[in-house]
Structure 1
Amino acid sequence: MNRPSEDAALERLRRFDSPDRSSSGTAEMPAAARPSPPPSQLDQNTGTGQLFASVFVPGLPSMKRHPVLGIVLFVVGVLLPFVMLAWVYANRDDLVGFALDPQFLLIVTAAALGAVVVRLAAIGEVFHAHRRSPGIAGRSSVAAVLVLALGLPAYWVAFQANEARTVVADVFAGGSDDPLYTPTNAAVDQSDFTNIVLFGGDAGPGRWGLRTDTMILVTIHEPTGRTALVSIPRNLTRIQFPPGTPMADAFPNGFDDLGNAIFPYVSTRDELMAAYSRDGLQAEAVALSEALGYSLGIQIDDFALVNMQGFTEVIDAVGGVTLDLATSIELPPSLPGERELPSSIGPGAVDMDGAMAIAYARSRYADSDYQRMGRQRQLLAALGSQVSATEALTGFGSVTGVLDDSMRTSLSSSEFSRLLDRLGDNQAIQESVGLIPPLIEPGNPDYVQIRTIIAGVQNAMATGNPSGYAG
């Protein structure tokens, strides 16, 4: 074998023995220099499936890669909303109470927004884990848009809850635990009673210099829950004031006008507004509450003041109210801008919207001011008992807006919720009493007699026996 042939043979032998040779005879690249293999179709499908899962069960696809993050996303995005919905459903009879609880509304706002945010975070985690998969960016964008679209109800819930929380904080911000008036020698021990006066005024939303044409005392015997409604006539005269108060100094023999004029009298005098200003409460309502407490001989714990126009809107917001009328009632003419009402309604069951209900409650055409007071108590009790959870939720935004414009109260939100529960419980309302002739004479009242009547009503609530004054 010649020299060139030997050299060529040796070269072929070296190439054959080299580890960098493949079976085909071509040199392999070092491992570090090899390009990453393209993602498989299986990896693409896995990424798509995990994106889809993150929309509905965020955190579940992430648990193997990041256990803590996956658990947090799952708890906030799935478990917490489910537990909240189950709890609300189980306590659906107290939806009004939830709607008036600022802390609960804050939790709802945070949970609704959190449900959207954690899904976007879950999609981001899946995108990062499969970032080398072809088309993952586009599929992640589609998943994010789907979350934002499906999250529209959550945005609505968060917005409504936040708006309601603002209203609740505004309407129920005033007051304290102290009674508005405490008698020195009540005929009945007041420690077992909660007494709240409800005022309905003739002004519109945002106008508070009104005449209180509706005045109703709600007296609740707390140990038993038995409740009585007592209507106080708007034309009650010589209402008395606690000695030593500014109004008592001005009217030592009692107020020289009708009872419904006390509110505007106070509102037009700066010195009285300052004297009766207490804990951020409506000064006129404080003065009137003190006067009624002293005149009736009972403790007054709280008041709630509603403009009647606002009450109309509340009734409309919850879908109206149905009353069963024993006789035909003539209605007053419709107000300017209101829909035309029939000249009369009844007898029988009548479905009423806000305008008709208020016209019915305020009508004096067919009978008298005193029968009107009875209709007001009837309407109040019917509204409390007929509003369902669905109606309360449907009209939620409208009701909270009306409350902000048309209601002032010394009650806390939880106290107001309990009051609504009592007014809606037909079994709890034991008696409905009107301070009207022949029981009393509003134009020439005997306040000793009136205090005796109120004491009799409270004793009836404590014992469960009729007072003899209901009518």
Structure 2
Amino acid sequence: MTVTEPGSYPRRRDVRGSRGVRDVREAGDVRDVRDGRPQRAARGATATATAVRPPAPRRAPEGAPPRPAANEVTLIHAGDDPRGRHASSSGEGFTRLVLLTVLGAAVPGAGLVAAGRRFWGWLVLLPVLAGLGAAAAVLLTGRLVPMARSIAFDPQAMLVIAAGAALGALLWCVVIVATHASLRRSPGVGRLTRAQRLGSLLLVTALLALVVAPSATAARYAMANHDLLENLFGSESRSGNAPDTAAANPWAQVPRVNVLMLGADTGSDRVGTRPDTIMLASIDTKTGDTTLLNLPRQLEDVPFPQGSAAAKAWPKACEEDGEGGCMLNAVYLFGTLHPEMFGGTAKGNDPGVEATKEAVAAATGLDVDYYAMVDLEGFQQLVDAMGGITLNVPRDIPIGGGHNLETGGKYPITGWIRKGQAQELDGYEALWFARSREGSDNNDRMARQQCVISAAVQQYGPVELAAAFPSLAKAAERNIQTDIPAGELDAFVTLGQVVKGGDLRALSFTSANISTGDPDYDALREMVENALYPAPPAPAASAAPSASSSAVPAPAESPADPHQAVDPSTTC
């Protein structure tokens, strides 16, 4: 409060207000100043003057600006910073604003604490620190990969992750905006220029995008995985050779697992679905060595287990008209027309596939534990989802051609896959590389199909699968059918890692080693046994030194034995 004695001349006071400098003069009044506005003293207040001797003036240092006299008036202009000598300059304040905003986005809550919002800052920061600590503990104890895989194969966990990603992104964005707004009002940040305000807006927008984009991707991956698990994989195992999913090594008690791979052809000129590709992959679970047994679709007199209803009905009832003369690719239709022989039409059971599994098992002497069937048109989508495939094309392969099975008419050739090494093929070209019939027989087609399988195993790793996962999952959901349950997927991922380190061999049953019209199934089973458990190679005989000075040329390498499994890469 400023006191003026009655009758005295009032001192001029310049008070900074919202509209600049104002003079306050009023003789004989008692006034104080609050918030830049002069206030009249309460009525009835008594003014008391106290004489105070002013302190002796001090000598100013040389070079310093002169001090104002006691009766001089110091004006505070509107452009001056009212915060005094502790206020930051515009450049320093903007730098602080940028750094703390970025810090608050990287570590949610830290920026709020720095802005003075300690309660809200610690309320956000403590859960973040707890989560980071838990993640570090999981990482250091080596439980990250097993935990991630167990979550990845749980459809309910995928829903939680998708919802959590969306909610977490929303809260994170709110924290970023609140942090920046709080910092703008903090004492350490001065008034921003127009360019700085624009820069702040762009900074916050970029930080929000960095949060929203990965969160949206995570939610999209989670929902794609959820749909794939729910729609493609079953809930219960139907195999009698299932892995122990609770064990550290789920395949320890399963020395070998056999998976039937079918390529279904549902062309408009065909009656029902007929597998165009029939392969049995036999996997050694300890070494990862895999043998592909490629069965020709035109294999006749296919056996069924003795005493079964199918063995009695086949081949008389294999076709809808019951005329017989059926081949292996007609077994699927036979099962579809007679579901009562193959487990019925309950959910999760495909009588056509079950019939094919029984026929392949009886023909090869191996139990078929699981199957996976892909529609040939869907194969194109799968390859496209993976970004294509690299194949060696031994000769020009026609696109199109062949004959209509109903009318006998010839299909036109619409294009060519040109000969060359390491050709980059898209899904459409890879499909025709595997299925083209024009100018080739079934033996040639089976060899090309083995090349496609071999190339896919070698080229498609975890990184490629993860990058293409959303589109791959959609294509797989529409075009793949399997009886592998979701609860065993983790075990199959473990097995897949072992297979990547093993050897891949293939044995095709062609006219070179079997008669498809009148096959000897005992001989076929013997070839299967030798392919899975080959005899160790005989030791090379040491050659005695020759007295003759003339060199004898080494004999030419003999061609591969068609009765033995070979590395597909040698023929691709």
Q: Deviation at 1:230?
A: 0.5
- The partner residue of 2:503 within 411, 423, 428 is 428
Q: Deviation at 1:264?
A: 2.0
Deviations 1:337-378 (A, max 9, x none): xxx864353253322111221211112333320121121111
Is structure 2 residue 93 aligned with structure 1 residue 60? no
- The partner residue of 2:490 within 414, 423, 437 is 414
Quick check: 1:106–1:161 contact (8 Å CA) kept in 2? yes
- The partner residue of 2:335 within 242, 246, 266 is 266
Q: Secondary structure at the match of 1:228?
A: strand
Letter in 2 for 1:60: A
Letter in 2 for 1:435: F
Q: Deviation at 1:75?
A: 5.5
Is structure 2 residue 217 aligned with structure 1 residue 149? no
Q: Distance in 2 between matches of 1:97 and 1:385?
A: 26
Quick check: 1:55–1:143 contact (8 Å CA) kept in 2? no
Q: Deviation at 1:144?
A: 6.7
Q: Distance in 2 between matches of 1:380 and 1:99?
A: 26
Q: Secondary structure at the match of 2:111?
A: coil
* Mapping of residues 34-433 of structure 1, within 5 Å: 50-62=100-112, 65-66=118-119, 67=122, 69-74=124-129, 102=155, 109=162, 112-113=165-166, 116-123=169-176, 126=179, 146-150=206-210, 151-176=212-237, 178-179=239-240, 191-203=254-266, 209-251=272-314, 256=324, 257-269=326-338, 271-272=340-341, 275-277=343-345, 280-325=348-393, 327-333=394-400, 342-343=415-416, 345-388=418-461, 391-412=464-485, 413-414=489-490, 417=493, 421=497, 427-429=502-504, 431-433=505-507
Which structure's relative contact order is higher, taking Cα pairs within 8 Å and 6+ residues apart?
A: 1
Residues 368 and 158 of structure 1: CA distance in aligned 2, closer, same or farther (over 3 Å): same
Quick check: 1:116–1:147 contact (8 Å CA) kept in 2? no
Q: Distance in 2 between matches of 1:451 and 1:247?
A: 21
Q: Secondary structure at the match of 1:261?
A: helix
Quick check: 1:433–1:470 contact (8 Å CA) kept in 2? yes
Residues 410 and 285 of structure 1: CA distance in aligned 2, closer, same or farther (over 3 Å): same
Identity percentage over the alignment? 23
Letter in 2 for 1:119: W
Q: Distance in 2 between matches of 1:112 and 1:73?
A: 15
Q: Distance in 2 between matches of 1:83 and 1:350?
A: 47
Q: Distance in 2 between matches of 1:210 and 1:363?
A: 18
Letter in 1 for 2:528: I
Q: Deviation at 1:428?
A: 2.0
Q: Distance in 2 between matches of 1:85 and 1:292?
A: 45
Please list every run of 5 or more consecutive structure 2 residues that lacks an aligned counterpart in the other structure: 1-43, 52-69, 71-81, 243-252, 319-323, 403-412, 539-560, 567-572
Aligned-residue CA RMSD (Å): 4.9
Larger Rg: 2
Quick check: 1:63–1:69 contact (8 Å CA) kept in 2? no
Letter in 2 for 1:212: P
Q: Distance in 1 between matches of 2:414 and 2:493?
A: 32
Q: Distance in 1 between matches of 2:389 and 2:375?
A: 18
Aligned to 1:451: 525
Q: Deviation at 1:416?
A: 5.0
Q: Deviation at 1:387?
A: 2.5
Q: Secondary structure at the match of 1:15?
A: coil
More helix, by proportion: 1
Q: Distance in 2 between matches of 1:270 and 1:177?
A: 17
Q: Deviation at 1:113?
A: 3.4
Quick check: 2:335–2:354 contact (8 Å CA) kept in 1? no
Is structure 2 residue 564 aligned with structure 1 residue 469? yes
Residues 304 and 147 of structure 1: CA distance in aligned 2, closer, same or farther (over 3 Å): same
- The partner residue of 2:534 within 450, 460, 463 is 460
Deviates more, 1:100-109 or 1:192-201: 100-109
Residues 121 and 70 of structure 1: CA distance in aligned 2, closer, same or farther (over 3 Å): farther
Q: Distance in 1 between matches of 2:456 and 2:155?
A: 24
Residues 229 and 157 of structure 1: CA distance in aligned 2, closer, same or farther (over 3 Å): same
Q: Distance in 2 between matches of 1:201 and 1:152?
A: 39
Quick check: 1:62–1:70 contact (8 Å CA) kept in 2? no
Q: Deviation at 1:229?
A: 0.6
Residues 15 and 416 of structure 1: CA distance in aligned 2, closer, same or farther (over 3 Å): same
Quick check: 2:288–2:495 contact (8 Å CA) kept in 1? no
Residues 283 and 381 of structure 1: CA distance in aligned 2, closer, same or farther (over 3 Å): same
Quick check: 1:289–1:300 contact (8 Å CA) kept in 2? yes
Deviations 1:100-119 (A, max 9, x none): 67588567646643652342
How many residues end up aligned between the 2 structures? Answer: 423
Deviations 1:434-453 (A, max 9, x none): 12223221211222222222
Quick check: 1:101–1:414 contact (8 Å CA) kept in 2? no
Please list every run of 5 or more consecutive structure 1 residues that lacks an aligned counterpart in the other structure: 1-10, 19-23, 25-36, 182-189
Residues 287 and 100 of structure 1: CA distance in aligned 2, closer, same or farther (over 3 Å): same
Residues 73 and 59 of structure 1: CA distance in aligned 2, closer, same or farther (over 3 Å): farther
Quick check: 1:277–1:283 contact (8 Å CA) kept in 2? yes
Q: Secondary structure at the match of 1:179?
A: coil
Q: Distance in 1 between matches of 2:48 and 2:154?
A: 84
Residues 467 and 334 of structure 1: CA distance in aligned 2, closer, same or farther (over 3 Å): closer
Q: Distance in 2 between matches of 1:14 and 1:285?
A: 107
Q: Deviation at 1:126?
A: 4.0
Q: Deviation at 1:457?
A: 2.0
Residues 116 and 334 of structure 1: CA distance in aligned 2, closer, same or farther (over 3 Å): farther
Q: Distance in 2 between matches of 1:193 and 1:42?
A: 73
Q: Secondary structure at the match of 1:298?
A: coil
